[in-house]
Amino acid sequence: MTTTIDSRQMLAFATLARCGSFTQTAKDLHLTQSAISHTIKSLEQDVGVPLFERVGKKVFLTQAGEQLRPTAERILRDMHDARTALLELGQWGRGRLRVGASVTTCQHVLPTVLREFRQSFPDCALRIEPGDGPQMVELLRSNRVDIALMLEPTRDEGMEFRRLFSDELRILVSPMHAWARAGRIAAEALATETLIVYNKGSFTDELLTDHLHAAGIQLGNTMELGSMEAIKELAKVGVGAGVLAPWIARRELAEGSLVALPLPGGKLRRTWGVAHLRGRSLSLAEETFSGLCEAVAQTLEQ
């Protein structure tokens, strides 16, 4: 049965081949001469052929030894390079970072975070995977992302969750809408208007559904979209009433093209944060990225 050559045997062989002396090899490797002799003898027994000829105090490679030498040196170089590469992962600006992020945060949070992160980690290989909350959970569980910028899960998903900020879902309508003129929305009025909501199955959809059910509110027609920008545009032209957090429509609210009104049934708040698998230790890059997200999030707290 063929066995793999031990790395210590390989190192002793390569060093002895270079030095040509058991005494010098023992000094270079900080071992006793008898330890080197035992290692070489064991290696020769393992491969089944002599690798050195001993002439007095001199040591010469046999033909088999000459054949093994370049392979041994290449293997040792590869092992050294592998160790160096692994060590560099923990050094400033090295390694990789795989981030999952909701589509909303990709547009409104990540640009500032990524600009700052690149300044500190210019050599870090960075990849962004967009998706909704349930997709983020699956990406984390399957080790396809390291951390995820997302809404807090509605149930225990085996994640550590670092809170960033909270927001409140509201109804956004055109300033010409009757609700905007009245300044309020009666619960029963939701049954007569088209409500434009985000993707079914998302954490936002789960929160909204539970909120309305608990308040006993019946909906009429709903329109599902996978883009917050599309929801805003349709609400602006009066196609329906969008359900959004005001920070996503700050520009439109400031210019007066949309009006934000409280959601009937009381406040519906969400919590955003950075998630990772429970029990994982974060790398330097991951900790830095999370800290930058915290700094940006301070401007979004409602």
Q: Could you tell me the CATH number of the domain that includes residue 217?
A: 3.40.190.10
Say yes or no: 177 and 207 in one domain: yes
pLDDT in tens, 126-185: 999 999 889 999 999 999 999 999 999 878 888 899 999 999 999 999 999 999 999 989
Distance CA 131, CA 200 (A): 13
Q: Is residue 240 domain-shared with residue 175, that is, in the same domain? A: yes
Q: Is residue 274 part of a domain?
A: yes
pLDDT in tens, 29-73: 999 999 999 999 999 999 999 999 988 778 999 999 999 999 999
- Give the model confidence (pLDDT) of 76-95 as tens digits: 988 887 877 676 665 555 57
Per-residue pLDDT, 293 = 93
Residue 70 lies in a domain: yes
Domain count, the chain: 3
Task: Clarify whether residues 275 and 182 are in a common domain.
Answer: no
237 and 151 in a single domain? The answer is: no
Residue after which a domain boundary falls, among 59, 89, 119: 89
159-173 and 241-244 strand pairing: antiparallel
DSSP conformation class of 254: H
Whether the model clears a pTM of 0.85, i.e. scores above it, the answer is no
Which pLDDT score, from 0 to 100, does residue 51 have?
Answer: 94
Do 231 and 173 fall within a single domain? yes
Same domain, 158 and 172: no
Quote the domain boundaries for residue 174: 166-269
**Do 158 and 281 belong to one domain?**
yes
Q: Residue-wise over 63-89: b if at least 16 C-beta within 10 A, else e?
A: eebeebbeebeeebeeeeeeeeeeeee
Tell me, what CATH number does 44's domain have? 1.10.10.10
Report the range of poorest mean pLDDT among 10-24, 91-105, 249-263.
91-105
